[in-house]
Chains A and B, each alone.
Chain A
Amino acid sequence: MSALQTTALIAVVAAGTAVVLTPEALRQTMVLGIFGLTLTILFFTFQAPDVALSEIVVSGVGLPLIILAALRKIRSQERDRQAEERDS
């Protein structure tokens, strides 16, 4: 195993752990994007550029966007409920 591959593996372990340990959903989404980037580098160093290409777009744009939209919807609903409780 080359030094590059070892480094990429360690980076994936570190970033994956960081995703689990991040407490707040919004920040977790950002860390998830970084985790995807380390996975991309891993695939690339293991000579799977096809997979790396898919991974970078799905984890960098596709997934975070859907999570962010869902988070925003949930938060605005919570705000509405609190406002209603205050009014009544």
Chain B
Amino acid sequence: MTRRARLALFALAGPAFAAVLVIGLHGLPTFGDYHGVYGLLVNRIEPRLRHATDIVTALNFDIRAFDTLGEEFILFTSVSGVALLLRRLRVADEHAERSRGTEDHRFAGASAGVRMSSLLLIPLLIALGGYVVLHGALTPGGGFQGGVVMAAGPLAVLVAGRYLIMKHLAPEWLLEAADSAGAAGYVLMGVGGLIFTGVLLKNFLPLGTPGELLSAGMMPLNSIAVGLEVTGAFLLVWTEFLDQALITTGGEEG
């Protein structure tokens, strides 16, 4: 298509699209105008029903627990796919260029200050991540959010320019185990609901006092399972990508 034909097409399609957009936006409710019934209902019943104070977590692990089960396995499957593909590539690469790849990776630019602050970051990130995971049912956060923060902890070693030490700290077998144990743990909790209450994923643990760490029934355990899976999954994907970028081809400049 020539430039003129493309411009002519845009001259037709652009205003039409803009018109549809303006008409559509015109029909929207005004800002802050909330007509939902569901949200208000959930906000009212969930603290009473499950003793959870963070309704977002209560939604994820109680009211829509089955959706979360699906999301768990979306993450699990995609991470397995990435690992499967990239490991195959890596094997091919290693055969072709075994002599060139070096096993030691150091950034030339990682100063003492960067290394020092990353050393400080590791415990802080892991502690914060663990806190967010454990307090999922109480305050904003939960398994996914805390899991990603925790996964960033070992990554601070990479920022300090010591990728192989990061791999030592979080070896692949450990990440795989965390990923699978988290996914399996969530399923087992669900099956527990099926056994003890007759409903898949339904709460079967005592509810406890609202606001305390061990309250809201299964939610802290669900949160830990999801946190474990997410930590393992993210670190595994990062490791696979970094292996590709840093080890098999990053020989000469390191």
B59's nearest neighbour on chain A, judged by CB, is A50
A57 pairs with B249, CB closer than 8 A:
no
A52 shortest CB reach to chain B, Å: 8
- A3 within 8 Å of B by Cβ? no
Please name all residues of chain B whose beta carbon is closer than 8 Å to the beta carbon of A20 when the two chains form the complex: none
Q: Which of B6-43 contact A (CB under 8 A)?
A: 31-32
Q: Which of B31, B144, B242, B249 contacts A54 (CB 8 A)?
A: B144
State in angstroms the CA–CA spacing of A48 and B30 once bound together.
19
A65 pairs with B145, CB closer than 8 A:
no
State in angstroms the CA–CA spacing of A1 and B30 once bound together.
10
B226 shortest CB reach to chain A, Å: 12
- B238 within 8 Å of A by Cβ? yes
Please name all residues of chain A whose beta carbon is closer than 8 Å to the beta carbon of B238 when the two chains form the complex: 62, 65-66, 69
B152 pairs with A72, CB closer than 8 A:
no
- A58 within 8 Å of B by Cβ? yes
> Are A70 and B245 CB-contacts (below 8 A) given A1-B31, A57-B148, A65-B155?
yes
B155 pairs with A61, CB closer than 8 A:
yes
- B244 within 8 Å of A by Cβ? yes
- A77 within 8 Å of B by Cβ? yes
Q: Which of B134-161 contact A (CB under 8 A)?
A: 140-142, 144-145, 148-149, 152, 155
Count A-side interface residues using an 8 Å CB cutoff.
19
State in angstroms the CA–CA spacing of A70 and B31 once bound together.
41
Please name all residues of chain B whose beta carbon is closer than 8 Å to the beta carbon of A66 when the two chains form the complex: 237-238, 241
B140 pairs with A53, CB closer than 8 A:
yes
> Are A57 and B152 CB-contacts (below 8 A) given A65-B238, A73-B249?
yes
A76 pairs with B234, CB closer than 8 A:
no
Please name all residues of chain B whose beta carbon is closer than 8 Å to the beta carbon of A54 when the two chains form the complex: 144-145, 148
B241 pairs with A65, CB closer than 8 A:
yes
Q: Which of B145, B237, B246 contacts A72 (CB 8 A)?
A: B246
Q: Which of A34-88 contact B (CB under 8 A)?
A: 49-50, 53-54, 57-58, 61-62, 65-66, 68-70, 72-73, 76-77, 80
The interface of chain B, by Cβ under 8 A from chain A, is 31-32, 54, 56-57, 132, 140-142, 144-145, 148-149, 152, 155, 234, 237-238, 241-242, 244-246, 249-250
A-B interface, 9 closest residue pairs, ranked by CB to CB distance from nearest:
A49-B140, A69-B245, A69-B241, A53-B145, A57-B148, A72-B245, A76-B249, A50-B56, A73-B245
22 examples of A-B residue contacts, CB within 8 angstroms: A1-B31, A1-B32, A50-B54, A50-B56, A50-B57, A50-B140, A53-B132, A53-B141, A53-B145, A54-B144, A61-B155, A62-B234, A65-B238, A65-B241, A66-B237, A69-B238, A69-B242, A69-B245, A70-B241, A73-B245, A76-B249, A76-B250
